[in-house]
A and B are shown apart, each in its own frame.
Chain A
Amino acid sequence: MPQNDNINLVIEINKLVKHFGAVKALDGFNMGVQKGEIHGFLGPNGAGKSTTIRVLLGLLKKNSGDVTLFGQDPWKDAVKLHEKLAYVPGDVNFWPNLTGGEIIDLLGNLRGGLSEHRRKELLAKFQLDPRKKFRTYSKGNRQKVALVAALASDVPLYILDEPTSGLDPLMGKVFQDEIFALKKHGKTVLLSSHILSEAETLCDRVTIIKEGKTVAVYTLAELKREHENLDQLFLSKYEEEEK
């Protein structure tokens, strides 16, 4: 039974286990994302961030544990839930011979329509040429294609898997402004990231994952009280277990 304080949870994960053959990717992982917050999802490569996100999207089937998205099961109700979210994958792979503009239109349409005004505005802000074939884009521009497609959709939840790893600092700033704007409109954002300073600027709360387990959950206020910055917290969480 969901407890009272959980009513506001958009994403709720309890004791999630997922293995691939003998490898345990997620080993009793917990996470809760509240409505209207920007939630940072931190951890090194291979810790299980992308696996968690793909379970949330109903692309991978959990082995055990409870996962709900808007109170529903992401595996069974995948399609209904996907109306409410936009996703930017960590590895942006699209059909090489379609243009960025075509891909944005396609994804927008499959998500249930995108705002023409937002599409135009975002292309200008991110300085993305929509007429180039996808294969000719650089890494950062590939990410922009996925970002523009996601941000031009008006949905309650945005799931972003390391969306800024290829962006330059100027574009990183544009991205941050967009995320703050989403928050102002009451949207929820799950932001997986490597860039700790960015997470520190943007996030209300963070969950740190290590080897498929939750090692820490902090609000930014708690964080500021206990640690100098997120870098220090992150490193301390990783080093204390090594000892």
Chain B
Amino acid sequence: MTGTWQLIKLILRRDRVKLPIWILGISLFLLWMIPLLKNTYGTPESLQTLYETFKLNPAGLLLTGMMDAPTFGALFTIETVLWWGLAVVFMNTLLVVRHTRQNEEIGAQELIMSARVHRGASSVAVMIVAFFANLVLGAIIAVGMIALSDGGALWSNSQVLLYSSGMALLGFTWAAIALVVAQLVESARSANGILAGLIGVTFLLRGIGDFLGQADASGLVQPHWISYLSPFGWIQATRSLTYPEWWPLLIPILCAVVLIPIAFVMLNHRDVGAGLLPSRRGRARASVFRRTALGLTWYLQKNIFLGWLVGVLAMAAICGALVSQMSHVYDSSPQLAQVISAMGGTGAQIPVFLSAMLMIIILMTMAYAVQASGKLRGEESAGYLENLLATKLPRIGWLLRHFFVVLAGVLVMLIAAGFTLGLATNLGGESVKISEYILAALSYFPVVAVFSAGYVCLFGLLPRAAGLVTWVYFGFVAFVSWIGGLVNLPQWLNNFSPLHYTAPVPAEAVKMLPLFIIASIALALAIIGIVTWRQRNLSLSD
């Protein structure tokens, strides 16, 4: 098709950093899981324990799918297929939308189409790029898995081929789905929103299907048929590393073969820039709340808050529901016990386990605080802030509104997470005091607030680096509290994490003094940020 080759080169040029990061990030992190899992659960005994636990555990089935056998391949399957599959899917949908609908939205497509370029060339080009991106991804995974197979002890070469083909085909199928969705709506944002919804629904469908699954005569869990409505279910059905089956791969191939022509028919029947679904008109007037500075701040912060709230509450509910099952694993797996007590402290099993889970929830809340605070810089660099600061709204007032909305969000998230964790534990059959978990979660408030305050400080002092520095620091804190107890990190490194000074609650008693000190540090950071922000130039475009 005329122009396709040039457009492929354009895509590769625009994504020269993005695409390699996606491919290498997904594949190398996946391969890194092999030694990591082997060190933690490598022995036949712990695999047997995990198998007994996961075989018919409803929560496990819902989240990770079926563990088919007490083998490393089965463990690797439940740990990776769905979660890495999810990453592969997002790589593909974002890629396709970026080079089709987004191009149209920003007006670049109009210019491209005025040249000697076929109407469908952009779509053909992006599908070719997606095809090869998945191929490269699959190849890296395959080569790495074969190299790390312990001479074929973990899995055979043909099993690896099935596993990596599954991942690649999952990705390409979603590229085809994205191409169809990109024809429907006018904005890239809506297309990505619809796709994220579809991904979530199909992910959930497979979870429900597996949850409703029954063990067959040989003891293998067969999912309910609704799992096969989901592309994730198709890939899972290959059971690549346990009881390999090739035929399920025919479904994603068939799906792509049907969807791609449909997308091109739709493309041929619409105007450039237009969607097949009518775009919705909005409100002619702003609501009384929306027209205030606080209302605007909440509008801008709302989606980040709600997204993380759903994630945090789901995590809390699942952890709580898992408690009774996890105590079995805890009994029989010293490695897992070590991981948990590194985070959860010492004492009776259940509070220690729950304290460790609470720690994970706290880390998620920190990530929320960093991302939500990032709106400060986002609003400034997008040029929106200039309009606001030319009104009666004071600079400091603008910053404080965002800061307080983030802190209030953290507060609500902590209370809700503590409540959910306690409630789910009770529903799961273990009796704990819910109020104790709410207070435990709340005690972390100063620790989480440090992240938002730290961002504010950098926003005043070094606005360009604020996001990067805060995220790197978050990564460090998460790493130290997650892995720190397992591998012996140098002590001085631990000293830089605020979580090093707090007690794992509620397993151990709250230490008040460190909390006061951390709260004072947060306050000091926020004040430095506010003072320097008052004094600095706005970064503006020309």
**Which residues on A are within 8 Å of B, measured CB to CB?**
45-46, 50, 54, 57-61, 78-79, 82-83, 85, 87, 89, 91, 93-99, 101-112, 130-133, 135-136, 146
**In the complex where A105-B286, A105-B291 touch, is A110 in contact with B535 (Cβ < 8 A)?**
no
Tell me if A99 and B284 are in contact (CB < 8 A): yes
Q: Can you list 6 A-B pairs, Cβ within 8 angstroms, ordered by A? A: A46-B542, A50-B542, A59-B390, A59-B537, A101-B286, A102-B290
Contacts of A95 in B (CB 8 A): 300, 384
Whether, in the assembled complex, B425 has its beta carbon less than 8 Å from a beta carbon of chain A, the answer is no
Partner of B537, one of A60, A96, A98: A60
Residue in A91, A95, A109 whose Cβ sees the most chain B Cβ within 10 Å: A109
Q: Determine, out of B218-226, B327-335, B391-399, B447-455, the stretch whose residues face the partner at the interface.
A: B391-399
Which of B8-16, B42-50, B275-283 contacts its partner? B275-283
Q: Kindly state the separation between the CA atoms of A87 and B386 in the bound complex, as whole angstroms.
A: 10
Report chain A residues within 8 Å CB of B395. Answer: 78
Least Cβ distance of A105 to chain B in Å? 4
Which residues on B sit within 8 Å (CB–CB) of A132? 281-282
Across the two chains, which residue of chain B brings its CB closest to A130? B284
User: Which residues of B95-119 are within 8 A (CB) of A?
Assistant: 105
Q: Is B408 interfacial (CB 8 A cutoff)?
A: no
Instruction: Please give the distance in Å from A227's CB to the nearest CB on chain B.
Output: 29
Output the least CB separation between B196 and chain A (Å). Answer: 16
B54, chain A: closest CB distance, angstroms: 43
List A contacts of B285 (CB < 8 A): 101-102, 105, 130
Task: Select which of A61, A79, A106 is within 8 A of B392 by beta carbon.
Answer: A79
B21 contacts A by Cβ under 8 Å? no
Known pairs A78-B394, A78-B395, A105-B291; list 17 more (Cβ under 8 Å): A45-B542, A58-B389, A59-B386, A59-B540, A61-B537, A78-B389, A89-B383, A89-B387, A93-B386, A97-B189, A102-B286, A102-B291, A107-B391, A110-B392, A130-B285, A135-B187, A136-B187
Given contacts A59-B537, A131-B282, contact A106 B291 (CB under 8 A): yes
Question: In the docked arrangement, what's the CA distance between A173 and B390, Å?
Answer: 26
Interface residues, chain B, with chain A CB atoms under 8 Å away: 105, 186-187, 189, 279, 281-286, 290-293, 296, 299-300, 382-384, 386-395, 535-538, 540-542
Enumerate chain A residues within 8 angstroms of B282, measured Cβ to Cβ: 98-99, 101-102, 131-133
A59 close to B538 (CB less than 8 A): yes
Residue in contact with B540 in the complex, picked from A54, A85, A94, A104, CB distance below 8 Å: A54
Q: Judging by beta carbons under 8 Å apart, are B382 and A93 in contact? A: yes
Which chain B residues border A146 with CB–CB below 8 Å?
387
Q: A97-B189, A106-B296, A132-B281 are in contact. Are A57 and B389 (CB under 8 A)?
A: yes
Q: Which residue of A lies closest to B389 (CB)?
A: A59
Residues of B within 8 A of A105 (CB): 285-286, 290-291
The closest CB in chain A to the CB of B382 belongs to A93
A102 neighbours in B (Cβ, 8 Å): 282-283, 285-286, 290-291
Name the B residues within 8 Å of A94 (CB-CB): 384, 387
Residues of B within 8 A of A46 (CB): 542
A93 to B380, CA, bound (A): 11
Q: Are A136 and B189 in contact (CB under 8 A)?
A: no
Would you call B284 and A61 a contact (CB within 8 A)? no
B residues near A107, Cβ cutoff 8 Å: 387, 391
Q: Given the complex of chains A and B, what is the CA–CA distance between A83 and B392 in angstroms?
A: 6
Residue of B nearest to A93 (CB): B383
Let me know if A136 and B279 touch, CB within 8 A.
yes
B397 nearest CB neighbor, chain A only: A79
Q: Check A99–B283 contact: CB distance below 8 A.
A: yes
Across the interface, which residues of B come within 8 angstroms of A106, CB to CB?
286, 290-291, 296
- Give the CA-CA distance A111 to B387 in the complex, in Å: 11
CB of A115 to closest CB in B, whole Å: 14
